[in-house]
Amino acid sequence: MLANVDALLLARWQFGFTVAFHIVFPAFSIGLASYLAVLEGVWLATGRQVFIDLFR
């Protein structure tokens, strides 16, 4: 199987990994920031300790 691996195939694998990372990581960080903002907002509105515990 590895006998057919050439530089072009390795470059395509590297590009695929890089593109996947650049799609997943920003989506995760934006989603996490939004989730934390909502948790803190709900805590400010209600004052319930459970929301700030989840935030921390």
For residue 34, is it within any domain?
yes
For residue 4, is it within any domain?
no
Contact (Cβ atoms closer than 8 angstroms) between residue 53 and residue 36: no
For residue 26, is it within any domain?
yes
For residue 13, is it within any domain?
no
Would you say the C-alpha torsion 2, 3, 7, 11 has a positive or negative sign?
Answer: negative
* Domain count within the chain: 1
- Over the chain (56 residues), the average pLDDT of each successive run of 10 is 83 96 94 95 95 92
- Both tokens of residue 20? 């996947």
For residue 8, is it within any domain?
no
pTM of the model: 0.67
Query: What's residue 27's pLDDT?
Result: 93
For residue 52, is it within any domain?
yes
Domain hosting residue 51, numbered range: 22-56
Distance (Å, whole) CA 17 – CA 22: 9
